């Protein structure tokens, strides 16, 4: 078994515990508007738990020959992110009371970011890997720009408590999401290998748990705030 699998098993356990906790929190929520928060958040950790299991058991791993090196690439990360990051944005948009165009733009940029990230990860030429990384990071910056601009404007129309929760989750998202391309480019994928696979896997695990379970915990902590978010339409 690969040395880094300790972190992948930790990720599997963490995502599973998070899922069970969110399911327990969501019991008895009858309002369909409010149920959306629980449905999205439960899917986020369910998908992540299964993709972590896929990586821990070695199925989610492939090899890519880049120049002289053979890189171990965990492709299952991208299968996780392409579904879970739109769901995280959906949660934020729901909280902010965003309109459909704002949500569609965010999700479009996000899927573009992950898709170009897959190309970066599988590309055999080092320079082109960095090119696709740059394109993907450009999409991330555009996405965060909308988060701070349009989405925050929309959230400001909400009650004080809702706007405050939105602000907290938005800031958490900005900080954590910006770290992903940094870990990627300094890690094995960036081919310079400043961070070895073992520590890179640990770093992504901590980021994933914070961005999903930590995020969900803060979001679902107060039922009354979610009530305010969905009622004052
Ligand atoms: C990649 C590599 C290419 C450049 C960029 C990336 C961004 C990834 C991000 C992932 C976020 C994942 C989350 C997961 C679960 O909680 C694909 C690493 C910009 C932002 C939040």
The tens digit of pLDDT for each residue in 10-57 reads 999 999 999 999 999 999 999 999 999 999 999 999 999 999 999 999
Mind listing the pLDDT tens digit for each residue in 53-74?
Answer: 999 999 999 999 998 899 999 9
> Quick check: CB of 81 below 6 Å from ligand 1?
yes
Cα 93 to ligand 1 centroid, rounded to whole Å: 19
On whether the pTM is more than 0.90, the answer is yes
Q: From ligand 1's centre to the CA of 78, what distance in Å?
A: 8
Element (H, E) at 65: strand 61-66
Alpha carbon 94 to its chain's center: 16
How close is the Cα of 228 to the center of ligand 1, in Å? 31
């Amino acid at each position: 078994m690969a040395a880094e699998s300790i972190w992948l098993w930790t990720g599997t356990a963490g995502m599973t515990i998070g899922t069970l906790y969110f399911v327990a929190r969501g019991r008895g929520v009858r309002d369909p508007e409010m149920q959306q928060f629980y449905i999205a958040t439960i899917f986020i950790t369910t998908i992540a738990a299964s993709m972590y299991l896929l990586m821990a058991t070695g199925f989610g791993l492939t090899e890519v020959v880049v120049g002289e090196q053979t890189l171990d690439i965990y492709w299952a990360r991208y299968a996780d992110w392409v579904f879970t990051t739109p769901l995280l944005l959906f949660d934020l948009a729901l909280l902010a009371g965003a309109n459909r165009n704002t949500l569609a733009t965010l999700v479009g940029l996000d899927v573009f970011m992950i898709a170009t990230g897959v190309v970066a990860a599988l590309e055999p030429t080092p320079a082109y890997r960095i090119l696709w990384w740059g394109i993907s990071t450009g999409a991330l910056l555009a996405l965060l720009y909308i988060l701070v601009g349009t989405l925050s404007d929309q959230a400001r129309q909400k009650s004080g408590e809702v706007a405050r929760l939105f602000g907290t989750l938005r800031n958490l998202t900005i900080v954590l999401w910006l770290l992903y391309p940094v870990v990627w480019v300094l890690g094995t994928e960036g081919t310079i290998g400043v961070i070895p696979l073992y520590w890179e896997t640990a770093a992504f695990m901590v980021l994933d748990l914070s961005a999903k379970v930590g995020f969900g915990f803060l979001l679902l902590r107060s039922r009354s705030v979610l009530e305010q978010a969905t009622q004052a339409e």
